[in-house]
Structure 1
Amino acid sequence: MDREQAAHALSDAGAAGSRLRAKARLHAAVSFVLGLAAVAILLVFGVLVPPPASYAIMGVGLLPLIALGIYTGSRPVVPRHYAALYQICGAAGAGIYSVVVVVGAAVFPGSLAWWLPGALLTAVPFFAVGYLDLKAARGRP
């Protein structure tokens, strides 16, 4: 391999790395948006919607969690150990969400004092995935 071919190969590798970092930043933004969607869904259905109709929160509120699961499961390349961390974040999010919804619907229907902290706590796994993606985009596995 001569110098010209080596320089071209390095240039191609740098361009590929830039594309991967940009894609990781996009995925982080999507994770943060899913976290905000989970907060909004829990607040709207938990506080603003009356109890009989608020039971739809289980189905609608699971959409961001399902989207997170599909996203993390469909990533072809992740930094070392991140696949397990993504699965842990998804399971934690589902568990937190379930506790917030079941207890909130039974004991605290319409109470902002329950639903706001619960909604914010439910968003933590989404934000954790976004943070991990930003960390990977900076090149720190």
Structure 2
Amino acid sequence: MDGNGSVDTREARAALADAAAVGDRMRAHTRGYGVFALVLSALFPTVLLAVAFVPLDPRLLGVGSAIAGALAGTGSAVTAARLTAVPRGFTPRYLTAFLTSSGLYTAVLVLGIVAFRDSAAWWIGGAALTAAPLVVLGGTILRGTRRTAAPDQDAVRTMWA
């Protein structure tokens, strides 16, 4: 600022450049959370399809499924504990998506073993359904990380003129 209380154009441009750099870093950082949610969304369908189509003892598949779920939960907890910055509202959205996928997975698994053991449509549809909440979360986060258009330089000049 000069003595008259007005802002120097160079200072204003530098401040805008700094803000844009911070925004770029945050977008790059939060993009990883969207990718993480999308990768995690593949876990539930993979295990369900293995249960449905791999010819193993259902008890062995149930134990393997429980272990895979425990590893996914532990991995998610460790990842969440190491986060330094997260997208706005990420924690409740992630918990909602993860718990919804987990609940759907459990329902599809139990009902499939009890009532739909030989129904490919049940297992494939259930696999897609269990992935949906985490796919939506990952897609939402990735869409939010797109770079917004830079402010028009003429508008910046007019604003600070």
| Normalised TM-score (structure 1) | 0.77
Find the structure with the greater CA-based Rg: 2
- In 2, Cα distance between equivalents of 1:6 and 1:100: 57
Amino acid at match of 1:52: R
Q: 1:100 aligns with which of 89, 96, 108?
A: 108
State the superposition RMSD in angstroms.
2.7
C-alpha contact 1:46 1:54 (8 A) present in aligned 2: no
- In 2, Cα distance between equivalents of 1:48 and 1:12: 54
Q: Residue by residue, what CA displacement relative to the aligned partner does 1:64-107 show, whole Å, maximum 9, x if unpaired?
A: 4554566567463432x554333322221121011011122223
- In 2, Cα distance between equivalents of 1:41 and 1:75: 31
Which stretches in structure 1 are left out of the alignment for 5+ residues?
Answer: none
Deviating runs (4+, > 6 A) in structure 1?
Answer: none
Matching residue of 2:155: none
- In 1, Cα distance between equivalents of 2:94 and 2:147: 18
C-alpha contact 1:28 1:134 (8 A) present in aligned 2: yes
How do residues 10-21 of structure 1 correspond to structure 2 at under 5 angstroms? 10-21=16-27
The Cα of 1:41 is off from its aligned counterpart by 2.0
The Cα of 1:124 is off from its aligned counterpart by 0.7
- In 2, Cα distance between equivalents of 1:128 and 1:75: 23
Matching residue of 1:113: 121
1:124 aligns with 2:132: yes
Q: Residue by residue, what CA displacement relative to the aligned partner does 1:39-60 show, whole Å, maximum 9, x if unpaired?
A: 2122113321422321121221
The Cα of 1:38 is off from its aligned counterpart by 2.2
Which stretches in structure 2 are left out of the alignment for 5+ residues?
Answer: 2-7, 149-161
Cα pair distance change 1:58/1:114, threshold 3 Å = farther
Matching residue of 1:38: 44
- In 1, Cα distance between equivalents of 2:10 and 2:17: 11
Cα pair distance change 1:60/1:21, threshold 3 Å = same
Find the residue that maps to 1:100 and give its secondary structure.
helix
